[in-house]
Amino acid sequence: MKAAVLHEARQPMTIEDVGLSKPKRREVLVRTVRAGICHSDLHFQEGLYPYPLPTVLGHEAAGIVEQVGEDVTYVQPGDHVVGCLSVFCGECEQCLTGHPNLCLNTEVKLAPGAARRLTFRNEVLHQFMNLSAFAEQMVVHEHALVKIRPDMPLDRAALIGCGVITGVGAVFNTARMPPGSAVAVIGCGGIGLSCVNGAAMAGAARIIAIDRLPEKLETAKKLGATDVIQAGNTDVVAEVLEMTGGGVPYSFECLGLKETAEQSFRMLAFGGTATLIGMVPFGQKIELHAADLLRERRIQGCSMGSNRFRVDMPRLVEFYMQGRLHLDHLISGEMPLERINEGFDALRGGHVLRNLLTFA
């Protein structure tokens, strides 16, 4: 099969003929239909997070089941599925206490470099996040997949696999924002806009969207933002504090920068919670004033929207089909696998939300 191989960080990927193992016990072979080029992939491509190389990136995808291995009971050939890097076992302490996105079982949620499903020139090719979606096919554990209704468009479904479930889930699951709240969302890319949409669905009374690019702020308005702030030449924290008379009870950082992570905490009202969704580069530290904690302000991390993806993703599909979850605005364009490096270059420019890879 064809796949985009990353041989070295900060270098273009190459399209190669790659070997793929047949599905073993509890494994599933999926034909990839659409895969989103996510900013998280860019972090790994640029070497900001360490990962064994060579590898096939990609973790936001939808496809159709082609073959199942022994003891697979959840899916069958022909099923439409979305992949999710939150592979779970269903048996460990985290899974059994309602946190399957934090599964501890490394026999199911394989550690980086442990999977042996891909080969290139008779050598191991590392599977990225147990998925490796930038390829014509994937072999994954059945607990890396969720079935969806067959009339859901697979291009829209692919978005749910990472960006959408992360942004919406941060509101519903991680922050558990009650209706009537005021929120601030820093960064209006795919995750940030999903966060805005999620806050609107959850009944937020005020949604302040913050970004440098006016076109992204316009999209945020369409998805439910009541106020916008164009960052760059203004003190966004001061503006939020003035607009709200003291800060917001909930803020969401969706860029993954030290500066904006600290801003998300500083714009909180007393008792407020800042949820960090973006991936701050590996090794960087966030600095806070200890005195600010005395007013019960909190800062917390978020892993994939604290999802229970076999429950959450079908619900998001239903919301889309009902017209309540807006996905059409998130797609900037589509391109074949051979143009993947163009897609990454466009992502670096900051003016795209999601380019989708298409497969024959």
Reported as a single tens digit per residue, the pLDDT across 80-104 is 999 999 999 999 999 999 999 999 9
| Tokens coding 248 | 């917001």
Domains of the chain and any CATH numbers? 2-147+327-358 (3.90.180.10), 170-303 (3.40.50.720)
Active site residue: 92, 162, 188, 195, which one? Answer: 162
Asked if the model's pLDDT at residue 291 lies above 90, the reply is: no
Closest among 255, 337, 351, 360 to 58, alpha carbons compared: 337
Stretch (H or E) spanning 211: strand 206-211
- The average pLDDT across 263-282 equals 95
Active site residue: 39, 43, 80, 326, which one? Answer: 43
- The average pLDDT across 42-51 equals 92
Given pLDDT bands bounded at 50, 70 and 90, which one contains residue 244? very high
Active site residue: 39, 40, 99, 188, which one? Answer: 40
- The average pLDDT across 329-341 equals 96
Given pLDDT bands bounded at 50, 70 and 90, which one contains residue 280? confident
Given pLDDT bands bounded at 50, 70 and 90, which one contains residue 358? very high
Residue with tokens 């500066």, as numbered in its chain:
259
Question: Based on C-alpha coordinates, what's the Rg of the chain?
Answer: 20
pLDDT in tens, 197-219: 999 999 999 999 999 999 999 99
pLDDT in tens, 258-268: 999 999 999 99
pLDDT in tens, 31-43: 999 999 999 999 9
Distance separating alpha carbons of residues 101 and 64, to the nearest angstrom: 23
59 has catalytic annotation: yes
Distance separating alpha carbons of residues 66 and 6, to the nearest angstrom: 26
pLDDT in tens, 176-196: 999 999 999 999 999 999 999
Backbone angles phi, psi at 123, to 5 degrees: -120, 155
43 has catalytic annotation: yes
351 has catalytic annotation: no
Length of the chain equals 360
Pairing of β 80-83 and β 145-147: antiparallel
